[in-house]
Structure 1
Amino acid sequence: MKKLISDWGKFTSGKRTRWFTIFIWIFLVGAVSMVWPQVNSQETKSNQLLPEDTMSVEAGEIASEQFASDSGLPLLLTWYREGGLIESDFQLIKEVYTNLESNPLEHQKFIPPFAKTPVQALAQTASEDKVALTTPVFFEKAASTEALQGMLDKLQSRIESAAGKEIVTSDLSADGLHVRFTGAAGIQTDATQLFSNADVTLLIATVILVLSLLIILYRSPLLALVPLVAVCFAYGLISPLLGFLAKEGWIEVDAQAVSIMTVLLFGAGTDYCLFLVSRYRDELRLEPDKYVALSKALGGTGGAIMVSALTTVAGLATLGLAHYASYDRFAVPFSMSIFIMGITALTLLPAILALLGRFAFIPFIPRTEEMTQELEKKKGKKIRRPKKNGRINKAFATLSTDRPWMVIIICTVVLSGLALFVGNVKYTYGLLDSFPEDMPSREGFEIIAEHYPPGEVAPVQVIVDTEENGDLTLKEDLAEMGIVQQVSDPETGSSDESYQQYEVILSIDPYSRKAIDSIPDIKEITEENLEEAGVQKADNNVWIGGETAKLYDTEQVTSRDQWVIIPAVLIIIAVLLLAYLRSIVAMLYLLATVVLSYLAAIGLGWIVIHYIYDAPAMSGLIPVYAFVFLVALGEDYNIFMVSSIWKKRKHMPLKQAIKEGVTETSGVIGSAGLILAGTFSVLAVLPLQVLVQFGTVTAIGVLLDTFVVRPLLVPALTTVLGRFAFWPGKLWKKTDSTMKDQT
């Protein structure tokens, strides 16, 4: 394989072929960008993340068919005054609705008759403490998000014009009346606004961070640009390719997937570039011909880069096994971006390096000893020789091989201690929990939740198919549940009278753990009631809808995905490690260290999110996201370092091979880890909390993997296991004594 990759390097980056390679890339990127749309323009607007056959989704479909009120898409106006609403507030509400009645907004479908409602009657609809009042405006469901945003802007203008001051965007802690837009329309427009400029902001922040880190680490402005150029070319090909697939309906992508894909591409892509650049710099110090040096560098690192990329591609592709759309939408963009970046690192990057040669490293140009001596003669002064490896890297390597048990015990205790916090993590699946606390729709929703009975915020819909088996006692049975405050009379289906719908108002927070856990109990009571009424196969005739049921279904679906994806990732990576290293023992302990690092990252991530960010819960999507990324990307560093140890073991004693392998790779792995962690931390610039939390946990995991697991724990384990670390491969039969005999 080494010769094959070396020959490939000569073809893509030779003296005569380097320009051809660059031209092919320019042509490809230009052609696909002209013919196919960019991925950003093909992002789905669908918020449906659950499979079609889940209970809450089916309940929603039946409700829209049989119990549709045809009122439209609701916008809830939450009117709030600390200390209580006053008469002038109710007069303002009447004035606003009078204006909406005489001069309707575009796509406005229906409004309640508040314009004709007396002030005293309107005041009776306020919350019990008279602090808040919620009034709806219904819009056509077909209205686009852009159109809705325009209508909300006009409505804000009308309200503030009537009030004579800003009350829609005012600080809730200030005195006076405040209005917030929430409900389906408000949440939809806020969610879109969160990502309106997110891609551009994220791209700029990522480029600036990566460029800064590269300049600091390599002290060469030109060299810092080389990986970024390669990544930009890769993105130039990936974006229209994904846009084409999305346009044809073969895949579905959302703004969240595109944002994280950008981070992944710059982080992992820069890593692959650094692996080659670092080795190329070392070879330039030994080889005067830059083309020969580049060929040797590709032969030495190309295999590791290729296997690392394939490992990450395979790991990320397992997200396609998910039923939850938020996971599934990530699979193709992520795996394809890494695949194309791997090709870029083995084609375009060598061509650019061949074009620039030693000049890329200016002002610290790597030269052979002979070249340095000639330059010294020419200049008449001594030139400082660069140190090949730092003292810190050697110290890590020496500590891991000379005192392996101490390293293993300390690392295991620290990582295990952090992993213990995993049991304390609280999870949430609510969309609004990911919104910033000052987002208008979230503020409005929290006002409603605080000043109205908790269950009224999100009623539970119980739908049954009675199969015309007579009256049910379901209303009474549900009302007897301790968590139920009120049950409505049954509503009969519009086209099929065998369908009945009951609206259940809970007496507890409908988003709480207790409420979510009550969904199976509500379903069981409903099924028993149907069976008593003579309905056959009652379990097929019950559907529970509403936000609480959606949260329950989300937990069930994501839990299923977790138990499918995590083993799949481990199996795939185990097979690839086994094929590359030919060692069952190495495969097992490399996987074990990555899993331990992952658990420690979740534990430490929870400490940061809960105690520093002051978040009450972590997004329930984080564990699977973090596992796939950390295990797949963590094995990249494993492969790069261990492959160096394996190669050196062929011709030197084990401890020496470990020391030199760790020393040789720790510098570039440390640089790559810092850049990767930095790029994921850039997600903190986005306002969506799920991305902030994901970036935090992933950055922590990368740092633990880079500076604890890779340079300390893995080498120490390899040292303790000795030649058994290579079992059953050929190197297992090698002993230090036989190697001395050969020498």
Structure 2
Amino acid sequence: MIAILRFITGRRTAWLILAATAVAVGLLFSLLPQDKSEDFPTSGLPSSSQAAQVDTLLADFPSAKQTSAIVIWSRQGSNLSAADITAITGRAAALGEQSTAPRATTPRFSDDKRAAISVVPLEAQKATADIGKTATDIRSTASSALPTGLTTYVTGPVGFRADITNAFAGADLRLLLVTVIVVAVLLIVTYRSPVLWIVPLVAVGLADGLSTVVVGALAGPFGIVLDPSVSGIQSVLVFGAGTNYALLLVARYREELLRAENRNAAMFTAVRSAGPAIAASGGTVALSLLTLLFAELSGNRALGFACAIGVVVAILFALIVLPAALVVCGRGLFWPFVPRFQTGLDLKREGFWTRLGRGVAHRPALIVVTSIVGIGALSLGLLGASVGLSQADQLLGNPESVQAQKIVDTSFSAGLTSQTVVLAPDVAATEAAALASATTGVEAVQPGESANGRTRLNLSLASEPGSDETFGTIAALRTGYADASGAVSKSLVGGSDATALDNRTNAQSDQDLIIPMILAIVFGILAILLRSLVAPVLLIVSVLATFFASLGASNAIFQNLMGFPAFNTNVVLFAFLFLVALGVDYNIFLTTRAREEAHRHGTKEGMVRALSSTGAVITSAGILIAAVFAVLGVLPVVALTQIGVIVCIGVLLDTLVVRTLVVPALVFLTGDRFWWPSRPAARAPRS
């Protein structure tokens, strides 16, 4: 390992590292196959899900080749005039010419005379090939030559899918540009240099680009289906984590440049000292992400797969490419604050962080109690929290399909635009239809086609798609069929709402499985790295406290300021994963340095010196990664906005309060017992 570090940081060999990196990156970009990821996020349900089984069986039905657009006409709350009705009837006939079933487009007018609706059946393959154009063509036909003030909306399967696709259109480029700008600005502010920020930004940018190519090439062989939401989170994580590691390395390198006259020797010491912490931090994040491979939902597995590869690539660039680049560029890279070698320098600082550490050492109990009260108060925001958003609540900006759904809710049946499907054995179709009609919440049952011994029943529910009432109705239907005797008990309930319900159920199952696995991994890595059994417990408790506080604060913001009625299905799990993994990053940065200092100065003074040495860089890293995750809010998708807000609040809370006040206070309270059973301070001189 020493030989490898000397090769990376050597005066001539550093150039070889950079040249080899350029060649390798160029070859990988040109030779690896391009990713053919889905443009539309899929449900990714396991085969045990009833909704997934229904989707599989429906593939053999003639209607499997069909989809539909639902067109709404409205005067924004006013009654439709006779001219409106005439124009709507004519437009519906024109829509019939574009439909696979012209008669099906005949308009239906609401009882309150304020809206009209038309269902436009379409060939699925042709409609989804360019879903945006399909929706635009339908809208154009439906809105042509209408009376002034009469508005057209497109919703239903085609409308919602078009809006979601539009939300992700250009998402990767937009997210990347905003992320790069945010990182560049924060690096300039942190380094106070017009030049230095370029090197880590280029290194992290290359790591992000390379990780995207590698993930895309490996996704197919490993059976992973990617979508823009996965790619967006992966890019944000690589930039955030990679820049964090760069900040730690550069901070230690600057410190060693004051001690060493030779910059290659300074970088060797910096990588040798900070490298294990960076590797352990990144390894914790990567291993935590890999636990998602045990998830039932394929979307969770895809996120874990992509982000774990991204973090590993970021670590390699931080420990190999960045040190070589910094050594090649020389001390002048730090201009105008160039660190000069000083003989006999004592880096014991009496600045802000040293004074803060000594202040915490004087009143550790008070700080711990005050922090518990504050964190508990923030956690109270979780009271009344719920998980699961309806279909209309999943996009920001009030898109057209959501506006249309609100009109349907007011003037028609709320569940009209989202059919629930029951597949019953042919011999029990009549009995299955009767049971569905008798179920509370089912408004209408329409028998449909048959295939492979099963009959399709199309159900219209009274409640809004994706709502708790709708999920309750689907659960009641499934229970009713399961409890029935005979062939009807083999009936399956599917459709878009059943898919959403199964998605939420499996997400909870994934959460119950993966969260304990993440905690076990974090405990194991901390125990090995710190050679302690007490320290990992205290550090994990601090991270969990941060998680619940950030979740509570975010829930209060979502419900009272942003109008989000609940957390989206996977948000809690993803927020936990990122906050715990990133929180452990800062724990490792601080406590490994505290252990190093404890050998020479004892536990108490070691923590003060560790805080003095790492306080500024941890704060900078925390602010940077909080800002990077906040960038997820540029996409009009509620789930990504929620993840960004929760992680942003959690990282800031962890960086500014827990890591700088609570953890040092816990060390001062426990003393040498913090490191038990090891004794790093045993040989330190006693003051």
TM interval, shorter chain, is: over 0.9
Displacement, 1:639?
0.6
**Counterpart in the other structure of 1:382:** none
Alignment check: 8 A CA contact 2:69 2:157 kept: yes
**Counterpart in the other structure of 1:152:** 135
Alignment check: 8 A CA contact 2:388 2:504 kept: no
Residue 678 (1) aligns with residue 673 (2): no
Alignment check: 8 A CA contact 2:69 2:159 kept: yes
State the distance in 2 between where 1:476 and 1:146 align: 38
Residue 84 (1) aligns with residue 79 (2): yes
In the alignment, which of 68, 73, 81 is matched to residue 74 of structure 1? 68
State the distance in 2 between where 1:687 and 1:390 align: 47
Alignment check: 8 A CA contact 1:449 1:457 kept: no
AA at the equivalent of 2:213: P
In the alignment, which of 478, 487, 493 is matched to residue 523 of structure 1? 478
**Counterpart in the other structure of 2:29:** 33
Label 1:618 to 1:389 Cα distance change in 2 as closer, same or farther (>3 A). farther
AA at the equivalent of 1:311: T
**Counterpart in the other structure of 2:368:** 408
Aligned pairs (5 A) from 1:491-530:
491=448, 493-496=450-453, 499-529=454-484
Displacement, 1:365?
0.6
Displacement, 1:89?
2.2
Label 1:556 to 1:471 Cα distance change in 2 as closer, same or farther (>3 A). closer
Label 1:686 to 1:387 Cα distance change in 2 as closer, same or farther (>3 A). farther
State the distance in 1 between where 2:347 and 2:188 align: 18
SS of 1:112's equivalent in the other structure is helix
Alignment check: 8 A CA contact 2:285 2:311 kept: yes
**Counterpart in the other structure of 2:125:** 142
Aligned pairs (5 A) from 1:648-687:
648-687=597-636
**Counterpart in the other structure of 1:327:** 300
State the distance in 2 between where 1:248 and 1:481 align: 45
SS of 1:258's equivalent in the other structure is helix
Aligned pairs (5 A) from 1:89-488:
89-100=84-95, 104=97, 108-112=99-103, 122=107, 125-143=108-126, 145=128, 147-163=130-146, 176-248=149-221, 250-369=223-342, 391-465=351-425, 468=427, 473-488=431-446
Label 1:300 to 1:678 Cα distance change in 2 as closer, same or farther (>3 A). same
Label 1:454 to 1:99 Cα distance change in 2 as closer, same or farther (>3 A). closer
State the distance in 2 between where 1:555 and 1:218 align: 44
List structure 1 runs of 4+ shifted beyond 6 angstroms. Answer: 385-388
In the alignment, which of 647, 653, 659 is matched to residue 596 of structure 2? 647
Label 1:710 to 1:70 Cα distance change in 2 as closer, same or farther (>3 A). closer
SS of 1:78's equivalent in the other structure is strand
SS of 1:65's equivalent in the other structure is coil
State the distance in 2 between where 1:436 and 1:390 align: 49
Residue 60 (1) aligns with residue 44 (2): no
Alignment check: 8 A CA contact 2:470 2:497 kept: yes
Displacement, 1:620?
2.3
**Counterpart in the other structure of 1:690:** 639
State the distance in 1 between where 2:462 and 2:86 align: 32
SS of 1:74's equivalent in the other structure is strand
Displacement, 1:64?
4.4
Alignment check: 8 A CA contact 1:111 1:136 kept: no
Alignment check: 8 A CA contact 1:626 1:697 kept: yes
**Counterpart in the other structure of 2:9:** 13
Label 1:70 to 1:651 Cα distance change in 2 as closer, same or farther (>3 A). closer
State the distance in 1 between where 2:651 and 2:422 align: 46
Label 1:434 to 1:413 Cα distance change in 2 as closer, same or farther (>3 A). same
SS of 2:117's equivalent in the other structure is strand
State the distance in 1 between where 2:3 and 2:201 align: 25
Label 1:209 to 1:387 Cα distance change in 2 as closer, same or farther (>3 A). farther
Alignment check: 8 A CA contact 2:418 2:465 kept: yes
How many residue pairs are counted as aligned between the two chains? 686
Alignment check: 8 A CA contact 1:38 1:239 kept: no
SS of 1:109's equivalent in the other structure is coil
Displacement, 1:629?
0.6
- What are the superposed Cα offsets for residues 322-344 of structure 1, whole Å, 9 maximum, x if unpaired? 11122111011100111011011
State the distance in 1 between where 2:329 and 2:299 align: 42
The alignment yields a C-alpha RMSD, in angstroms, of: 2.5
- What are the superposed Cα offsets for residues 85-137 of structure 1, whole Å, 9 maximum, x if unpaired? 22222332333344455xx55xx5333365xx7xxxx5xx2111121111122
Displacement, 1:298?
0.9
Alignment check: 8 A CA contact 1:429 1:621 kept: no
Label 1:189 to 1:505 Cα distance change in 2 as closer, same or farther (>3 A). closer
**Counterpart in the other structure of 2:515:** 566
AA at the equivalent of 2:359: L
With structure 2 as the length reference, what TM-score do the two structures score? 0.94
State the distance in 2 between where 1:578 and 1:179 align: 62
**Counterpart in the other structure of 1:377:** none
Alignment check: 8 A CA contact 1:389 1:663 kept: yes
State the distance in 1 between where 2:603 and 2:429 align: 80
Q: Which runs of 5+ in 1 are unaligned?
A: 166-175, 372-384
Displacement, 1:350?
0.5
AA at the equivalent of 1:689: V
**Counterpart in the other structure of 1:593:** 542
State the distance in 2 between where 1:521 and 1:682 align: 41
AA at the equivalent of 1:609: F
Displacement, 1:623?
0.6
Larger Rg: 1
Identity of aligned residues (%): 29
AA at the equivalent of 2:668: T
State the distance in 2 between where 1:671 and 1:350 align: 20
Label 1:10 to 1:495 Cα distance change in 2 as closer, same or farther (>3 A). closer
State the distance in 1 between where 2:122 and 2:439 align: 36
Aligned pairs (5 A) from 1:693-708:
693-708=642-657
State the distance in 2 between where 1:595 and 1:572 align: 14
Displacement, 1:386?
13
585-594 or 452-461, larger mean C-alpha shift: 452-461
State the distance in 2 between where 1:38 and 1:647 align: 45
State the distance in 1 between where 2:16 and 2:185 align: 31
State the distance in 2 between where 1:641 and 1:471 align: 66
Displacement, 1:478?
4.0
Displacement, 1:48?
3.1
Displacement, 1:320?
1.3
Alignment check: 8 A CA contact 2:600 2:685 kept: no
State the distance in 1 between where 2:462 and 2:139 align: 33
With structure 1 as the length reference, what TM-score do the two structures score? 0.87
State the distance in 2 between where 1:460 and 1:422 align: 32
State the distance in 1 between where 2:380 and 2:669 align: 26
**Counterpart in the other structure of 2:576:** 627
- What are the superposed Cα offsets for residues 712-736 of structure 1, whole Å, 9 maximum, x if unpaired? 11111111111111111243xx55x
Displacement, 1:402?
1.5
Label 1:672 to 1:441 Cα distance change in 2 as closer, same or farther (>3 A). same
SS of 1:130's equivalent in the other structure is coil
Displacement, 1:387?
9.2
Alignment check: 8 A CA contact 1:284 1:367 kept: yes
